[in-house]
Amino acid sequence: MVNNATKIAVEMRLAGHSNTEIASALGKSYTSTTNIITAARKAGLLPPIKRSPLPSRTKVSDELRRIGISRGTVGAMCLLLTKEQRFWLYTEARKIGCTTLSEYLAELVRDEYEQQGAKK
């Protein structure tokens, strides 16, 4: 059974509203709203985000080298967070059924990318 917040979020997303607008309408945080949207996608209530084929590591490394940024690692990113921030990250990832931090971070990036694309 789908709860009321999910129903509203799905309707608003299908109407083209951003996660920020949906969060405001629901009275929830941006992160909670992103989690609702991601869970709705996984449940088939929203269409999946279009994904391109995975590039090779060499291609990604070449792209990053051209713009002067290092790939880094999720583990290194975790070291930059406080203990409270890390546990928040772990909890949020588990809430939406992610089995890795990489998967959760990819979901956040995809959602933000789609939201930014909707503004253009």
pLDDT of 65-87, one tens digit each?
899 988 888 999 999 999 999 99
Q: Across all residues in the chain, what is the average pLDDT?
A: 87
Residue pair 92/104 in contact (Cβ under 8 Å)? The answer is yes
Is residue 118 classed as helix, strand or coil in its secondary structure? helix
Lowest mean per-residue pLDDT among 47-51, 59-63, 70-74: 47-51
Helix (H) or strand (E) holding 74: helix 74-79
